[in-house]
Amino acid sequence: MKGKRQQCQAGTGIAFFGLLLFLLLSPGMLFAASDDSIVFDDIQLEEPLKYPDWFILPSGDLGDDLEDALAKGKQGIVVYFGQKRCSYCEQFLSLDLGTPDIRTYMQKNFDVLPIDIWGIEDITDTDGNEYTERDLSIKYQVNFTSSLIFYNSEGEKVFRLRGFYPPYKFRAALKYVVGEFYKTETFRDYLARAEPGVFFQEGGLTERDFFMAPPYELARTDQPAVKPLAVFFEQGNCHACDLLHSGPLNDDRLVAELDKMDVVQVNIASDDEVTTPSGKKTTAREWADELGIFHLPTILFFDEAGREVMRVDSIVQFYRKWGVLDYINRRAYNEQVDYQLWRLKQRDVAE
C-alpha cells in the first residue's frame, strides 16, 4: 500500500482573507483576534472541493502513514473527515488552513490525511482494526464536517475537533496538541489560561422567550419528560452567542422547532444550581467543566430519558442548525444514530 501513496493533486485555490496574523509564541496571544463573527451561506456547494496539494492521501494503513510522518520529523498525523460539497469544509480549508502561520505550523508538525465520510476505500486504523472510510467516520461519530482527529507519535488519538472553528481557536488547538498540553489539562482549561478573565467573563445573557426560567431541575431519568431537551451553554460578553441569537435564531422556522422542546440557557461562568438530566446536583460552572465545553455557544440535546443525543459545539449557520433541530424533534436518533446518513436520506426524499 505504501507504494501507492502520493501527494494530493490540485490545490484548493486557497484565499487569504486579511485576518490578523499572530505567531504561536505563547498561549497568551491566542485570543488577540476574535473572529467568531464569521458568517457564510451553509447550503451545499455547487462545485466539489479539492484538497490542498500538501495533503497526503492515506495509504490504507494509518499506522504506516504515521511511521512516514515520524520519519519526516513530524509529531504525528491528523485525519481530516470531510465532504466534497460541504460549505463548512470550504471555510476550514480557505480560512483556517488559508491563514499562512496556521498552514505553516500544521505542515511542520503533522501530515494531514483526508477521508471522505462517504468513501468506500479500506482504512486500517492505528489499533489494527479495518474499516471503510465510511465506517471509520461512523466509528468516530463524525456528525459534522469538517472534523479532525489528532494522532500522536504512539498512534493514540489525543484530540478531536468536530465542525468548523474560527482561525484563532484552531490555532489554539494546534498549540494545545503540539505542546502536549492534553496530558495535563483540558482544552477548555487551556483556553481559559491563555487569556484569563476573557474566556469566562461575567455578564448578561441574551434573553429569549423560549428559554425556561430557573430553577434548572432538568432530571428526567426517574420520570421521563414529554419533550426533548436543548441546553444552551453561553456566557456574557460572548460575541458568537449574540450572533447566534441575532442571526439563525432570529428565524421563525428555527424558533418554531425550539418551541417543540424544553429549552434552557446556562451561564457557564455562574455558580447557579443545576440538576442535570441524569439527576446529579451541581452548578452551571461545574457541569460545563465536566462536559468539557470549550466553544461558546454550545448546545446539548437530550432525549426524554436524559440521554445525550447530540451536541453542537462549533460554528453553525441556518441550515445545519435547522437540520439538527429537525433530527431531534422527529426522534430520528431512535432509528438512525448516524445524523449524516439521516440528512442524506432526507435530501433524497425532498428531491
Task: Check: CB of residue 342 under 8 Å from CB of residue 327.
Answer: yes
Q: Let me know: does 233 contact 297? Beta carbons within 8 Å.
A: yes
- Of the listed ranges 77-81, 150-154, 267-271, 279-283, the least confidently predicted one is 267-271
pTM over 0.85: no
300: Cβ contacts below 8 Å, ≥ 6 apart:
230, 231, 233, 291, 308, 310, 311
SS3 158: strand
Q: Which of 101, 95, 91, 88 is nearest to 21 (CA)?
A: 101
Q: What is the architecture, at CATH level 2, of domain 216-350?
A: 3-Layer(aba) Sandwich (3.40)
pLDDT at residue 70, as a whole number:
98
Average pLDDT, the chain: 85
- Share of residues in the chain with pLDDT > 90 (%): 60
Q: Could you tell me the end-to-end alpha-carbon distance of the chain, in angstroms, rounded to an integer?
A: 39
Task: Please give the CATH superfamily to which domain 2-18+43-184 belongs.
Answer: Glutaredoxin (3.40.30.10)
List pLDDT tens digits, range 163-175.
Answer: 999 888 898 899 9
pLDDT digits (tens, 9 = 90+) for 192-207: 776 544 443 445 688 8
Residue-level pLDDT at 36: 54
pLDDT in tens, 289-317: 999 898 889 999 999 999 999 999 988 88
Domain spans in the chain, listed from the N-terminal domain onward: 2-18+43-184, 216-350
pLDDT in tens, 205-255: 888 889 998 889 999 999 999 999 999 999 887 778 877 887 888 888 999
Do 94 and 49 form a contact (C-beta atoms < 8 A)? Answer: no
Q: Which residues pair with 160 in a beta bridge?
A: 149
Backbone torsions φ then ψ of 130, nearest 5 degrees: -100, 140
The answer to whether 2-18+43-184 and 216-350 have equal CATH topology is yes
Tell me the helix, strand and coil percentages in the chain, rounded to 5. Answer: 35, 20, 45
Asked if residues 99 and 16 have their Cβ atoms less than 8 Å apart, the reply is: yes
What percentage of residues in the chain have a pLDDT greater than 70? 85
Structure confidence at residue 347 (pLDDT): 66
Instruction: Give the model's confidence band at 37: pLDDT under 50 very low, under 70 low, under 90 confident, else very high.
Output: low
Q: Is the pLDDT of residue 265 over 60?
A: yes
Residue entry with cell 488559508 = 98
- Asked if 311 and 300 touch (Cβ cutoff 8 Å), the reply is yes
234: Cα within 13 Å, side-chain hemisphere: 23
Mean pLDDT throughout 56-64?
A: 97
